[in-house]
């Protein structure tokens, strides 16, 4: 997979790409990343990338022209098969595991990091395939959101995560008989008893059927407690 990131702050991505799964994917050649500095496509000698919004209002808005220029340079067009142009924005549809799985099957993913008070709406209307948000809160820019999307997507690419089982038995991959999406069940490791805090006996029993039932029950309990929005 090739990922193109369009941003005002290329340095934001330097450290995260040197560690963890992202670095492993780059080293294994499962992933290629190119960072595009939007200022390189700015208008005039001052490389202007933002302007005041028509109709008035606070703050500045990213202009359409610099974004159009960089997309033209990398020959990115909406509707291309096995390619997506995505704008990271607080007003986009909510990113989830299903969307990460969809992106992981693409040959190229282009992420545009919004900033300031927003992006000229014509970018959304004409230049991107979809608009994505990572949650119901406001960030200073789309860079943190781009990293979230990137990390969640790349770990699903074949060969990036060691054991396939670790992908099927984790949060948002587990389902029960009602086909509800659940968060991951509790995990324990050694020692069995740490200062009176004990590992549940069922996990020490060796009875895999009982362990499976216990884990599913605990996953449902944790989902109802922490993520009731997932239970229909």
Q: How confident is the model at residue 37 (pLDDT cuts 50, 70, 90)?
A: very high
Which domain, by its residues, includes 202?
169-230
Q: Determine how many CB atoms are found less than 10 A away from the CB of residue 38.
A: 23
Check whether residue 63 and residue 131 sit in a common domain.
Answer: yes
The C-alpha atoms of residue 217 and residue 223 are separated, in whole angstroms, by 10
Q: How confident is the model at residue 164 (pLDDT cuts 50, 70, 90)?
A: low
Q: How confident is the model at residue 166 (pLDDT cuts 50, 70, 90)?
A: low
The C-alpha atoms of residue 8 and residue 12 are separated, in whole angstroms, by 9
Check whether residue 132 and residue 216 sit in a common domain.
Answer: no
Give the tokens for residue 82: 């096995």
Check whether residue 149 and residue 176 sit in a common domain.
Answer: no
Question: Does residue 161 lie within any of the structural domains?
Answer: no
Question: Does residue 162 lie within any of the structural domains?
Answer: no
CATH number for 207: 1.10.1270.20
Q: Work out the burial of residue 18: count CB atoms within 10 Å of its CB; fewer than 13 is exposed, 13-18 middle, 19 or more buried.
A: exposed
Across the range 113-128, mean pLDDT stands at: 94
The residue from 119, 154, 189 where one domain ends is 154
Check whether residue 134 and residue 179 sit in a common domain.
Answer: no
pTM (2 decimals)? 0.87
Check whether residue 56 and residue 91 sit in a common domain.
Answer: yes
For the chain, what is the domain count?
A: 2
Across the range 217-226, mean pLDDT stands at: 94
């Amino acid at each position: 997979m090739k990922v193109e990131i369009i941003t005002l702050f290329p340095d934001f991505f330097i450290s995260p790409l040197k560690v963890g799964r992202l670095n492993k994917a780059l080293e294994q050649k499962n992933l290629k990343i190119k960072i595009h500095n939007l200022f390189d496509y700015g208008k005039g000698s001052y490389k202007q990338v933002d302007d005041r919004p028509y109709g008035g209002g606070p703050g500045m808005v990213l202009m359409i022209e610099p974004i159009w220029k960089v997309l033209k340079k990398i020959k990115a067009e909406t509707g291309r098969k096995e390619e997506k142009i995505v704008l990271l924005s607080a007003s986009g549809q909510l990113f989830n595991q299903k969307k990460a799985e969809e992106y992981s099957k693409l040959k190229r993913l282009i992420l545009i990091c919004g900033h300031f008070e927003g992006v000229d709406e014509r970018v959304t209307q004409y230049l991107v395939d979809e608009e994505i948000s990572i949650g119901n809160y406001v960030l200073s820019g789309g860079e943190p959101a781009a990293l979230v999307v990137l990390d969640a997507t790349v770990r699903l690419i074949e060969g990036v995560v060691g054991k396939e089982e670790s992908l099927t038995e984790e949060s948002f991959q587990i389902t029960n008989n009602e086909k509800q999406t659940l968060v991951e069940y509790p995990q324990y490791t050694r020692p069995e008893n740490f200062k009176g805090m004990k590992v549940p006996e069922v996990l020490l029993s060796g009875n895999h059927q009982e362990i499976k039932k216990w884990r599913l029950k605990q996953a449902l309990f944790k989902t109802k407690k922490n993520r009731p929005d997932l239970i229909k």
